[in-house]
Amino acid sequence: MTDYKTVPEALEHIESIFFSGITNIASGFHLFERILETDKVVHDLSVDMCVEAVTRKVFERLKELSKKEIDEKFENPVDTALATYAWLLLSKNYRKQEVIDLINNSQNLFWAKEVLWQHTNSQTSSAAE
């Protein structure tokens, strides 16, 4: 049983100020990832992403948020949401290059770019072994 009733409720949780505050306390990627792994809503959404329609909704939301205009003087207010969506989608290898391009073309991101870097680095390490 999921901790949310609908996918939009899960997305709302991930985009909330509360969730952003929790994830932004991470001092590094491993702690950030641990927060994602232990968040019940993120975990349940990940499980539910075995359904194509759910995965597509997460991708569409990432696409929508990545195109939002932001004030370049400040951090991107949806950075942690984009990072979470990218983390989920890349873990499923869903439209991988599009996810990477959307994040790379977005402005003022820290965690989302870190997710890409870690994903690319882990793929490179795996290929070298």
99 part of a folded domain: yes
CA–CA dist 28, 116 (Å, integer): 14
- Asked, for residue 51, whether it belongs to a domain, the answer is yes
Domain membership of residue 1 (yes or no) is no
Domain that holds residue 55: 7-128
106 within a domain of the structure (yes/no): yes
Per the domain annotation, does 2 fall within a domain? no
Q: Is residue 110 part of a domain?
A: yes
- Specify if 102 maps to a domain: yes
Residue 91 lies in a domain: yes
Q: Give the tens place of pLDDT for each residue, 81-99.
A: 999 999 999 999 999 999 9
Our count of domains for the chain comes to 1
Helix (H) or strand (E) holding 58: helix 52-66
Please write the tens of the pLDDT for every residue from 32-57: 999 999 999 999 999 999 999 999 99
pLDDT value, residue 5? 78
Residue 35: other Cβ atoms inside 10 A: 18
pTM passes above 0.85 = yes
